[in-house]
Structure 1
Amino acid sequence: MARNLGFFLAIIGLFLGLVSASNWNILNQKKGKYGLQITLKNYCESWRMNVELHNIRDFEVVPEECVQFIGKYMTSTQYKVDSERTIDECTVHMYTCCDFKKGGKDAWIFDIDDTLLSTVPYYKKNDFGGRKLNSTSLEEWMSQGKAPALEHSLRLFNELKGLGIQIILVSSRRECLRSATIDNLVDVGYHGWTSLILRGEDDEKKNNQKFKADVRKKFINNGYRIWGILGDQWSSIEGLPSAKRTFKLPNPLYYVA
């Protein structure tokens, strides 16, 4: 009898544990594993930081309890300061470590979305990453060509162009958005790039990292020296061949593999 009662209590305990796990929410927690006080703000800041460190990967949405926090960050002075610091490091690298040569083969690669152009206005209307990405809706917004420039990236773009560096734009946007993308870039001040590479039909089955690494390989095989890559996703800067240096802008809104 006692044995059966013990088994029954164990089953009930396991069930309650599973229910508790399924209902877990930071708002219900008071302390972390090591006795640290957990607040919504520091939990969400930790989540955002670990996205940038590439510890958190493959997420489809921003955690519900952090949507407001992430939205506030992406529209804050801190986001602009973080972005500016990234661009400053690009500039230091450009002037101190790059042995530019004559011949038109020195190059720098830029991503487009949330690197040159901001999608924050779109995500502001779509719950700041709290909803699963609707590619059709995002492409419709991109086709309108209303994305604003990221000012610090525009500054770097123009500095590189002034030095005679070949600027290569590589985006996972589909080829059907080429006209809208060019118009948008020119309207907000970007012009004079060497190449604009978008995802064609042959690239549809490749993930973003493979697609962008293959593009770099083609340019390097044609004699280009890629001194830097600037992007907002790890998949834009990872993979071989790479560049002399890679730089990542902050972006906790979405993840692209």
Structure 2
Amino acid sequence: MANNFLLSLSLIMATILGLFIGTVSSSSSADWNILNQKWRFKVEKTTNDLKTYCESWRINVEVNNIRGFSVVPQECVDHVKKYMTSSQYKADSERTVEEVRLYLSSGCCTLKGDGKDSWIFDIDETLLSTIPYFKNHGFGGEKVNSSSLEAWMMESKAPALDHKLELFHEIKNRGIKIFLISSRKEFLRSSTVDNLVNVGYHGWTRLIMRGLDDEIMAARKYHSKVRQQLVDEGYRIWGILSDQWSTSYGLPIPNRTFKLPNSIYYIA
């Protein structure tokens, strides 16, 4: 009888042990199975984390916390590309334009009608788009090749940013003098003028580009120097519209600065 009891007890223990081992084995194999729901959740969570990181990086570029970057982080290139070619980028830019219109209609600017009321526009990613170039050159994931970009600019094929074209003419029609201040080099003047006119821009007061003495100067110092020259000539600068923070750094300070989105490149 004792032998039968021990045999039964052994069978029970073996069954329990077998069930335990099976459970552990099943759980372990499930953790390593790529088709397992838990594993898919981990992959999805990682993807979401990357999207969140890249959007955070882009926003911090726009608010000028991240400065002086030479390339977009490789893991974020596709994210930046999607944004800069999306309806959201267009909507964000159009909202900036609407804010300019609200500012100008709010009684902000007492125009004296003496020909000295002025507005400053940047060119690239403000009036003209270089996105067609960057679509074929890494979209911010490669360090900008100045020679290649300038060769493309010489073709005068950059499209107008339509909502900026309308704003340009609205400001001009208010009797405000328009100054185009660009970080483009002086040798690009002819192709730049051709490009601007071909897509509908005309009637600006002056196009100012980097001369030989300005090429080694930081963009922020160059723009500050040009603004000072305009103020010395008696111009009142009511506002600046640009995609780069460097266009409004330093003195003299314009009455208002409006920043357009651009997370492809940074000009210091």
Q: The residue matched to 2:128 in structure 1 has which SS?
A: coil
Q: CA separation in 1, counterparts of 2:217 and 2:181?
A: 14
1:44 aligns with 2:72: no
Q: The residue matched to 1:244 in structure 2 has which SS?
A: coil
Report the CA distance between 1:198 and its aligned residue: 0.3
User: 2:88 is matched with which residue?
Assistant: 78
Q: The residue matched to 2:142 in structure 1 has which SS?
A: coil
- Calculate the TM-score normalised by the size of structure 1: 0.85
Report the CA distance between 1:205 and its aligned residue: 2.1
Q: The residue matched to 1:203 in structure 2 has which SS?
A: coil
Question: Which residue of 46, 56, 66 corresponds with 2:66?
Answer: 56
Summarize the alignment of residues 240-255 of structure 1 with structure 2, pairs less than 5 Å apart.
Answer: 240-255=251-266
Q: CA separation in 2, counterparts of 1:232 and 1:250?
A: 6
- Would the aligned equivalents of 2:113 and 2:175 in 1 still touch at CA under 8 Å? no
Q: CA separation in 2, counterparts of 1:201 and 1:132?
A: 23
Question: Which residue of 151, 154, 162 corresponds with 1:143?
Answer: 154
Report the CA distance between 1:199 and its aligned residue: 0.1
- Would the aligned equivalents of 1:170 and 1:197 in 2 still touch at CA under 8 Å? yes
Q: How many residues get paired?
A: 226
User: 1:12 is matched with which residue?
Assistant: none
Q: CA separation in 2, counterparts of 1:180 and 1:238?
A: 28
Larger radius of gyration: 2
Q: The residue matched to 1:39 in structure 2 has which SS?
A: helix
User: 1:126 is matched with which residue?
Assistant: 137
- Would the aligned equivalents of 1:213 and 1:239 in 2 still touch at CA under 8 Å? yes
Amino acid at match of 1:232: D
Measured against aligned partners, the alpha-carbon deviations of 1:158-198 in whole angstroms (never above 9, x if no partner) come to 10111111000000100000000000000000000000000
User: 1:186 is matched with which residue?
Assistant: 197
User: 1:66 is matched with which residue?
Assistant: 76
Structure 1 outlier segments of 4+, above 3 Å: none
Report the CA distance between 1:38 and its aligned residue: 5.5
Question: Which residue of 110, 127, 135 corresponds with 1:116?
Answer: 127
Q: CA separation in 2, counterparts of 1:47 and 1:232?
A: 17
Report the CA distance between 1:229 and its aligned residue: 0.4
User: 1:164 is matched with which residue?
Assistant: 175
Q: CA separation in 1, counterparts of 2:232 and 2:209?
A: 19
User: 2:217 is matched with which residue?
Assistant: 206
- Would the aligned equivalents of 1:115 and 1:153 in 2 still touch at CA under 8 Å? yes
Q: CA separation in 1, counterparts of 2:104 and 2:204?
A: 17
Amino acid at match of 1:237: S
Which runs of 5 or more residues in structure 1 are unaligned? 1-26, 32-36
Tell me the C-alpha RMSD between the 2 structures.
Answer: 1.7
Measured against aligned partners, the alpha-carbon deviations of 1:93-134 in whole angstroms (never above 9, x if no partner) come to 111111111110000000001010001001111111000110
Report the CA distance between 1:40 and its aligned residue: 1.6
- Would the aligned equivalents of 1:230 and 1:237 in 2 still touch at CA under 8 Å? no
